[in-house]
Structure 1
């Protein structure tokens, strides 16, 4: 009986992980290529910025309606809706011969991606045994890491050697495979029963699950630092006269992959502190080294530290949030996590970009190191406070029993 309960690598978990990988591949393949496409269609650098901003805004917006969607369709069919929207967007990009059409499709893609990412993370938690949740979510995230490593380069290669039409066909095929794997999974058709109080939750409660305010703060700080790397690392390499900035992402992806093979088990056996604390320190050191990088060796060292830190913190905070809520609130926890990551990414891109304009790109990573220092101190304070609260509660119980 124990073996059955603890089994992780079930058919549904494997298919679900593969499906998520294909969905993210269809997203990452467009990151370096759609900006080129929009410029070819007569767009401007402002339109390139809108391309990302609209997508992120729509992904955040749709998560406000997560509870409504689950109540009406259930997790299973609401996830299908998200994946179908991603499929429609990928298929329709080939018809987007003008900038307004392309930006309109980014609305559709953003809505679908916001639904899908929230529901994938929530449902996979139901498929993983509680005793192996950290390990399982770590393995589940490897698919996303694989997509991040392969899809952008594949997209550029297709555009360089074939055409944008070929790119859109490959992206569409990726979304079809995601849907196909999803249909082969035995996902229960459960519908979350929302109480009247939950249905009338405030705007802030829809953005952030009330029980996860502290964890949401950590995700926000983490997201700000991610935004600095994703948007400015190539420019830092130029400023520091480092060739081949793409090597940063290759090393980073490898280290993310390796970290997820180990840290999930530590999370399950020891608890979140044993993962988040060292992961935060490694992540912080990565920014310190990155800010001072003047050679490829230092650049790759920073990449390795960043990758190990990212691969440790991301699934650990996400799993911690899932563990703190009942099953019916896991979708809300997932929406909270991704909302804070996306908001942090957006805020970080704007604020850090303004900082770079005045002080140079290295300043972005000094600032990111400071932000992760705040992250670290906040988490240490949380641990200390939790221990004191536990001690006070035990003392109160003993007093009552005397």
Structure 2
């Protein structure tokens, strides 16, 4: 999902005659840096659910803003939502994996998490690129919106209570 946004937002924005793609990514970077201390604190005190659910909703908002962006400002706002979501989701899932793995298996857990993340980024961009080739970039972003909605459902599937570890 993240790979689709990173790989194809610039091409889609160009099709929409939007010129602020660099600002989209700059806003995303700033939002990601700003949100991390807050999401980390929430994770520590309340567990992953209260971070992942709002972040997933923010990701969905970002995708819809990208799909319907008609102005450069809308694209930059989409970048803020995307950056906040990415800045909360990635470290939360990583911390959750490490917490579940325990101290003895931290190295293996970190390695597996990062390998899976990298694999997902690569295969995701490839598959989404094929979807865009067969349909359109807009349709590909609609597919991303459905994936984000599925991700939100996953947030409800996993336990919401803070781990007792």
Q: TM-score, normalised by structure 1?
A: 0.39
What do residues 322-373 of structure 1 show as CA deviations (whole Å, max 9, x unaligned)? 0001212111111121112111111111111111113221222211111111
C-alpha contact (below 8 Å) 1:282/1:309 kept by paired residues: yes
Q: 2:5 aligns with which of 221, 224, 229?
A: 229
Aligned to 2:85: 309
Q: Give the total of aligned pairs.
A: 161
Aligned to 2:104: 328
Alpha-carbon distance in structure 1 between the residues aligned to 2:97 and 2:107? 11
What do residues 62-103 of structure 1 show as CA deviations (whole Å, max 9, x unaligned)? xxxxxxxxxxxxxxxxxxxxxxxxxxxxxxxxxxxxxxxxxx
Over 4 Å off, 4+ runs: none
Alpha-carbon distance in structure 1 between the residues aligned to 2:53 and 2:15? 32
CA RMSD of aligned residues (A): 1.4
1:296 aligns with 2:72: yes
Alpha-carbon distance in structure 1 between the residues aligned to 2:39 and 2:20? 30
Alpha-carbon distance in structure 2 between the residues aligned to 1:343 and 1:232? 18
Q: TM-score, normalised by structure 2?
A: 0.91
**Higher RCO (C-alpha 8 Å, min separation 6):** 2
Aligned to 1:369: 145
Alpha-carbon distance in structure 2 between the residues aligned to 1:336 and 1:366? 29
Listed as ranges, the gaps of 5+ residues in structure 2 are none
1:353 aligns with 2:129: yes
Alpha-carbon distance in structure 2 between the residues aligned to 1:363 and 1:371? 12
Shift of 1:297: 1.5
Q: Considering only CA atoms, is the larger Rg found in Structure 1 or Structure 2?
A: 1
Shift of 1:235: 0.4
Written as runs of structure 1 = structure 2, the 5 A alignment for 1:2-401 is 225-383=1-159
